[in-house]
């Protein structure tokens, strides 16, 4: 079964790293400010503990994403974000007739997707094949 891998591009990873560093600094600053407010106002221990857990989760998640995007930048093919298993396409097994191929070729030329030279070369190739 064929597998497709989705990876963010290098520019996406570079931009993500910049944004994630901002989120990391924001999380640290938020933790300091709110932590001081909680300490000054004698907040209940359960509330302080819950805040601590949320901040640890925030910073851990941001650090994990930074590491992922740094690794993605350093790999030649990138680091797969999602792997998708695809079913084989049974329609590819059907052989097209030379007439269908010539019509498709004509449409490609008409739509400007191939040049006149490419059209003539491929047309000659199709006509030389056994029917």
Residue 3 phi/psi, 5-degree rounding, is -130, 135
Do 86 and 1 contact (CB within 8 A), yes or no? Answer: yes
- Cα dihedral value 71, 73, 79, 80, nearest 10: 140
pLDDT in tens, 65-124: 999 999 888 887 776 766 667 766 555 555 778 788 889 999 998 988 889 999 999 988
Band the pLDDT of 9: cuts 50, 70, 90: confident
pTM for this structure? 0.57
Mean pLDDT is highest, among 9-13, 61-65, 69-73, for 61-65
Strand partners, 83: 5
Q: Is the dihedral of CA 107, 108, 109, 112 positive or negative?
A: positive
- Token pair of 86 as six digits: 């695809």
Q: What is the pLDDT of residue 73?
A: 86
């Amino acid at each position: 079964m064929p597998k497709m891998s989705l990876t963010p591009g290098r520019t996406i990873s570079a931009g993500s790293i910049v944004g994630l560093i901002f989120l990391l600094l924001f999380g640290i600053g938020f933790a300091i400010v709110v932590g001081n407010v909680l300490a000054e106002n004698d907040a209940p221990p359960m509330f302080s503990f819950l805040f601590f857990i949320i901040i640890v989760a925030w910073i851990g998640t941001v650090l994990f994403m930074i590491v992922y995007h740094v690794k993605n930048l350093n790999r030649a093919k990138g680091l797969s974000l999602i792997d998708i298993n695809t079913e084989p396409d049974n329609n590819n097994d059907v052989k097209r007739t030379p007439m269908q191929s010539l019509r498709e070729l004509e449409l490609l030329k008409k739509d400007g997707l191939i040049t006149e030279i490419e059209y003539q070369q491929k047309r000659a190739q199709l006509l030389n094949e056994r029917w």
